[in-house]
Structure 1
Amino acid sequence: MKFGLFYFANDSTEEVGEGRYDVLLEGARFADEHGFNAVWTPERHFHPFGGLYPNPAVVGAALAVATRHISIRAGSVVAPLHSPVRIAEEWAVVDNLSHGRVEVSFASGWHPVDFCLSRGSSYVNRKETMLETIETVRTLWRGEPVDVVDGTDNPATVRVFPPAVQPELPTWITSAGEAETFRMAGAAKAGVLTHLLHQDIDELAEKIVAYRAAARAAHDDWDGRVAVMLHTFLGDDRAYVRDVVHDPLCAYLKSSFHLIARSVADVGPDFDVDSLHEDDVDFLVERSFDTYFDERGLFGTVDQAAETVERLRGIGVDEIACLIDFGVDGKLALDGLRQLDELRRRFQ
């Protein structure tokens, strides 16, 4: 099992000041020095939930010069919001700055308002657009030309510069848990980046089986790879860990509640998240906390977290992307990396 760090901070303060990216940079340096596999940063827009990360390529450039070994990963680039030419250009720069350590997970998008950035890309057809974008980016990454339409509506051919260091772009597809997306990733020869927000471990196991089958059917001698994002904080005592993470994780879940509720297809057409009373939201968040703490995160002691890792390894997960910046005090989050490194060494 490989381990990386994942970032998705809730930036709810509007105060001007320094230090917003200290946990990111210090955590990445620790992971780089201690043999972690990757550091992931997302793409988020127009909301405090994930608000530190509107452009993973910009953040990736900072990480590239702050580290020496660790993989610099987008988790994710929202493909329909951008020109594939621009995606290839930006990440080729990061690949050069990092001496060939870039990997990109592509996502189709989950919030309609984000598509105000897309210049006409349809929210309804976002998955098809994502697949088309991936193939175009791969072509450009290899240094091959692609056909475009210029500003006068005439055909043109372009290549991107600088040339990337890696001859092929290591590619992932992000899935919130849809089985079809897993199969799509396998057919596209892409890894899967997923989480346990809308699925439990048993459900994930079934989807990994389908993913591996699709990968083997489409590509000889390639079985794919699966990374799972988990909220993470480890300590020497489970009760202490629960006390530390309870309030910040509940606040974090509450800050994302409306966004996530609107993105889940099975809530029903008559469900109006805005009609919920504050007490109802607090009740649902508290129940969610119990589920996350007990079943869908890496919390507690190293021994307790190891049980979760063993279970995930048993269903075919290759990597765990540990989300550490969900509101725990920055110093505590960084101090907890020592126990996380102990866990990582057990599975090295």
Structure 2
Amino acid sequence: MDFSLFFFADSAGSSAEAGRYRLLLDGARFADTHDFTAVWTPERHFHSFGGLYPNPAVTGAAVAAVTERVQIRAGSVVAPLHHPARIAEEWSVVDNISGGRVGVSFASGWHARDFALRPENYADRKDALLETVETVRRLWRGEQVDFPDGNGEKRAVRVFPPPVQPRLPVWITSAGSPDTFRSAGRLGAGVLTHLLGQDVTALAENIAGYRQELAETHGDQARGHVALMLHTLIGTDRDQVREQVQGPFTDYLRSSVDLIVKAASGLLPPGLDVNRLPERDKEFLLGHAFDRYFTGSGLFGTVEDGARTVRALQAIGVDEVACLIDFGVPHDEVLKSLHHLAELREAVNS
């Protein structure tokens, strides 16, 4: 099982004085020196939840500059918001800075508001995702691709600088849609996913569908790669860990209550605006969501607790746990917990 670090902080809970990107860089250095596989940063726009990360190529370049071995990944590039040549250019630069350590997960986008950047692509965003992945792959291989220029004429372009890696490692981000898992299989890409819109049983079914499609399209030897995001804090005492994370993680959930609590709780009918509920009801849902994450949708507790969780995920075909660590626990406590997470990685893989 691969272990990596994933960052998706709520920017409202950080300050420039404290160093908004200190945990990212310190965590990346730790991952680099303790045999973790990758560091992931997302693309997020116009909301404090995840708002520290509007451009994963920029944060990826920063991680590349302070590390030597760990892979540097986007989780995710929102493909319909960008010209494919621009994606290839930016990530080729990061590939060069890092000496060939980048990978990109592509997403179709989730909020209409994000498409203020490219409103014309919102309606067909799923098709745009697949087209962009294939075009970026071609550009990455050094092929010339025709695009219309300022005069409306087709121009063949090739991106510079050329990347270090001959092939770009690619994932497709899925919130739990079986069709997205199968699309990733047909593309021969990996899958980056989470337990927000699916439980472990549904995830197992999705992974099976993904691997079936992968085998049918690319042969029985094609296994692919499934990375699962899990909020994570590992310590020496489960009750103490719960006490450490309950306040910060509940606040973290509160920062995007309409997105997370509704999906995680499954208690609300479609179309109901969570933000318009009475405060008492909202707090009940937050408590329910926290319990769900702590007991079954996160990686919390001791090394032994974590090992049970990870082995169960291994059994259904998960290849990598992408550990979300920046949800409000103080910086020094998170860094201390990473030593226990490293112990967990060693315990599972021994």
Regarding TM over 0.5, the answer is yes
For 1:287, the equivalent position in structure 2 comes to: 288
Q: Is the 8 A contact 1:233 1:324 kept in 2?
A: yes
| Per-residue Cα deviation, 1:19-78 (whole angstroms, up to 9, x for no partner) | 111110001101100100011000001111001100000000011111000000000000
For 2:192, the equivalent position in structure 1 comes to: 193
For 1:248, the equivalent position in structure 2 comes to: 248
For 1:128, the equivalent position in structure 2 comes to: 127
CA distance in 1, matches of 2:47, 2:126: 23
Change (3 A) 1:64 1:153: same
In the TM superposition, residue 325 of structure 1 has moved relative to its aligned partner by: 0.3
Moved over 6 A (4+): 261-264
Name the SS for the 1:347 alignment partner: helix
For 2:59, the equivalent position in structure 1 comes to: 59
CA distance in 2, matches of 1:244, 1:224: 36
Q: Does the alignment pair 1:47 with 2:47?
A: yes
For 1:232, the equivalent position in structure 2 comes to: 232
Change (3 A) 1:150 1:269: same
For 1:222, the equivalent position in structure 2 comes to: 222
CA distance in 2, matches of 1:151, 1:210: 43
Amino acid across the alignment from 1:156: R
| Per-residue Cα deviation, 1:198-229 (whole angstroms, up to 9, x for no partner) | 11111110110000000000002212110100
| Per-residue Cα deviation, 1:207-265 (whole angstroms, up to 9, x for no partner) | 1000000000000221211010000001110110000000111011111112346889x
In the TM superposition, residue 124 of structure 1 has moved relative to its aligned partner by: 2.7
Deviating more after overlay: 8-17 vs 166-175: 8-17
Q: Is the 8 A contact 2:3 2:323 kept in 1?
A: yes
CA distance in 2, matches of 1:93, 1:318: 28
Superposition CA RMSD, Å: 1.5
In the TM superposition, residue 275 of structure 1 has moved relative to its aligned partner by: 2.2
**TM-score, structure 2 as length reference:** 0.96
Q: Does the alignment pair 1:310 with 2:311?
A: yes
Q: Is the 8 A contact 1:88 1:160 kept in 2?
A: yes
CA distance in 2, matches of 1:60, 1:16: 19
**TM-score, structure 1 as length reference:** 0.96
For 1:202, the equivalent position in structure 2 comes to: 201
Deviating more after overlay: 98-107 vs 10-19: 10-19
In the TM superposition, residue 271 of structure 1 has moved relative to its aligned partner by: 1.8
CA distance in 1, matches of 2:25, 2:174: 26
Amino acid across the alignment from 1:256: S
In the TM superposition, residue 268 of structure 1 has moved relative to its aligned partner by: 5.1
| Per-residue Cα deviation, 1:111-169 (whole angstroms, up to 9, x for no partner) | 11000111521x23211110000000000000101111111212211110000000010
Q: Does the alignment pair 1:173 with 2:168?
A: no
For 2:117, the equivalent position in structure 1 comes to: 117
Change (3 A) 1:19 1:208: same
* Structure 1 unaligned regions, length at least 5: none
For 2:145, the equivalent position in structure 1 comes to: 146
Q: Is the 8 A contact 1:44 1:53 kept in 2?
A: yes
Change (3 A) 1:251 1:129: same
CA distance in 1, matches of 2:124, 2:262: 18
Amino acid across the alignment from 1:107: A
Work out the number of aligned pairs and report it.
Answer: 346
For 1:298, the equivalent position in structure 2 comes to: 299
Q: Is the 8 A contact 2:106 2:173 kept in 1?
A: yes
Amino acid across the alignment from 2:81: L
Change (3 A) 1:242 1:125: same
Change (3 A) 1:85 1:262: farther
Counting only pairs closer than 5 Å after superposition, residues 3-152 of structure 1 correspond to structure 2 as: 3-13=3-13, 15-118=15-118, 120-121=120-121, 123-152=122-151
CA distance in 2, matches of 1:295, 1:262: 16
For 1:276, the equivalent position in structure 2 comes to: 277
Identity of aligned residues (%): 58
Q: Is the 8 A contact 1:85 1:160 kept in 2?
A: yes
CA distance in 2, matches of 1:25, 1:63: 6
